[in-house]
A and B are shown apart, each in its own frame.
Chain A
Amino acid sequence: MKKIQGTVYVVRDDIDTDQIIPAQYLNLVPTIPEEYAKLGSYALCGLPDGYPPFVKPGALTADYPILIAGRNFGCGSSREHAPVCLGAAGVKAVVAESYARIFFRNCVSTGELYPFETPIRLCEVFKTGDRAEIDVGGAHLTNCTTGKTYSIKELGAVAPVVEAGGIFAYARKSGIIK
């Protein structure tokens, strides 16, 4: 079963879509390939001062395939630019205590990233820069820096949709649409 490995970036509660992708960059259209890539370069640039830059200046992608968050990640706008910019920046999964509804759905329908949930407040125990590994099928997350393993909620029917690359790709693959 699939594993996601890499360095984590940690944020806390109520990270809204304006922090994920500030509105001034919404003139970029996610379905235009070069603008999709450009969106990645702005991922999480709206975080308050004090957070280290998520994407290094001049880079298009981040060095963090795993995001760890607190409650209500992705709250605010329905802008699909939010999961898209994270996916474009190379994020493969978010592990949060909870999500705002539209952001969660947009992660799944676009297939940009896995939106894992966990009852554990991981944003208190992980530090940006820790190495981690997510076992997608086994529903657990290991902090390779500390060696500790945490259980995460199984994604159920959501996992194969993200795996396929979104709702349209999944529907074609599984014969729901031609």
Chain B
Amino acid sequence: MAMTLTEKILARAAGKRVVGPGDNVWVEVDILLTHDVCGPGTIGVFQREFGKMAKVWDPSKVVIIPDHYIFTADEKAHRNVDTLREFATYQKLAYFYDPGTPTYKGVCHVALPQTGHVRPGEVIFGTDSHTCTHGALGAFATGIGNTDAGFIMGAGKLLIKVPKTMRFTVNGTPPPYLMGKDIILKIIGDIGFDGASYCAMEFAGDAIRHLSIEERMTICNMAIEAGAKNGIIEPDAKTFEYVKAHTHKPFEAVYGDADAPVESERTYDASTLEPCVAEPHVPSNYALARERNDVKLDRSYIGSCTGGKITDFLAAARILKGHKVAIPTFLVPATVEVAEDIIKSEIDGKSLIEIFAEAGCEDIAPPSCAACLGGPEDTFGRTSGTEAVISTTNRNFPGRMGSKQSRIYLASPLTAAASAIRGRITDPREFM
């Protein structure tokens, strides 16, 4: 029987020849990812259920990447990282990226592929809803709660339902003003905030193949914003180049069958898509940037797992070069590697760090989730009043960046940068 990419990965992980949508199967887990917000609770469940001295099923497959509440004075946040550190030491975990040490990375969903833990065809669970990011490299990846993660820690497997696949084909060549964020916000706007509930969102087509791995990650990252179980893109030469540059571990890529039935199919032409925003307070609240020129902004924010990669900062710098920002502009590289790349990368002989400084952006923050999800009150960039923020993050829920009264407009880094210059929502084509 013909199977989609998601079905084929799950069939292999379940040791079955064939699985179909709706089947409940036990899958073997390749990577369990956790962080400082859900890790301590997961460890609590694991120790309560398997015993205080119990060992994890495989210390090379539990990856802990603290990233949420790192640069804060909050005592419980520090205690939580201490809990992770003690656990990692006791369990002899191979991969614990410890804050305050040279192993610290930053935002887990950008760090996970950068540290070589994302490989095509594998099964990744993480205690974070944006774990769906990793489908960008042809893996099955989804978010789970602490209890399921505690089960995986002990057993190395999980019972899951095989999702139906919704396919989104984006044809054509993306124009230079169009980014992955514009594509996914358009799709979410079309199908709705719960339009892919329980489903796999598979992204295909020439325009998707044209995108860098980082841009593909932006798209898969936001599959959860339509309620999807996972986002996924078939691996290609770009995927293999990226993966092989980050790990020597062998993997076996999986491809979907061309004739596999899917739940639904939607087709887009990249050349007709335009820079956009998602208006408060749901990511499906789609509007064209050029039709929202009247929205005055107080702040621009570039960061997070979906919008804080080097490609995002390169895009922002292309717009900001030679201009001044009109509103406070916050830059939070997702990881240490991205922060280093900001220093190393140049546009026309000028480093990104110089471009941002000359544009009048705030000093670049240390890598972490920062204000993407509000966090403790001393979090960098957190909103505290009625601010209108244009942000490259993935959620604009009430209170998401701190204050319930603030309004968040989601956008690509090109649009966030152009809007920073004008102090209003601005289509980046005005500066291209």
Contact = CB atoms under 8 A, between A and B. Distances in A.
The answer to whether A and B come from one shared complex is: yes
Contacts of A102: 129, 143-145
Interface in B25-54: 37-38, 40-41, 44-45, 48-49
Interface in A23-50: 23-24, 26-32, 46-49
Interface stretch (A12-20, A54-62, A125-133, A137-145): A12-20
A106 interface: yes
Contact of A27 (B45, B80, B126, B151): B80
B345 interface: no
Contacts of A75: 193-194, 227
Contact of A79 (B37, B83, B131, B395): B37
A148 B41 CA distance: 41
A101 B197 contact: yes
A97 B324 CA distance: 48
Contacts of A47: 398
Given A29-B44, A80-B41, A109-B148, A19 B397 contact: yes
A78 B397 contact: no
Interface stretch (B249-257, B291-299, B370-378): B370-378
Contact of A23 (B41, B146, B373): B373
Nearest to B199: A101
B145 A106 contact: yes
Contacts of A28: 76
Interface string B43-77: 01100110000000000000000001100001011
**Contact count band on A:** 35 or more
A136 B41 CA distance: 29
A4 interface: no
A18 B395 contact: yes
Interface of B: 37-38, 40-41, 44-45, 48-49, 68-69, 74, 76-77, 80, 83, 126-129, 131, 143-148, 151, 193-194, 197-198, 224, 227, 229, 282, 373-377, 395, 397-400, 402, 404-405
Given A27-B376, A105-B144, A167-B151, 16 more contacts: A14-B282, A23-B374, A23-B400, A24-B376, A26-B375, A27-B76, A30-B146, A31-B40, A72-B197, A75-B227, A76-B395, A76-B397, A78-B126, A80-B41, A101-B197, A105-B145
Interface of A: 14, 16, 18-19, 22-24, 26-32, 46-49, 71-72, 75-81, 83, 98, 100-102, 105-106, 109-110, 166-168
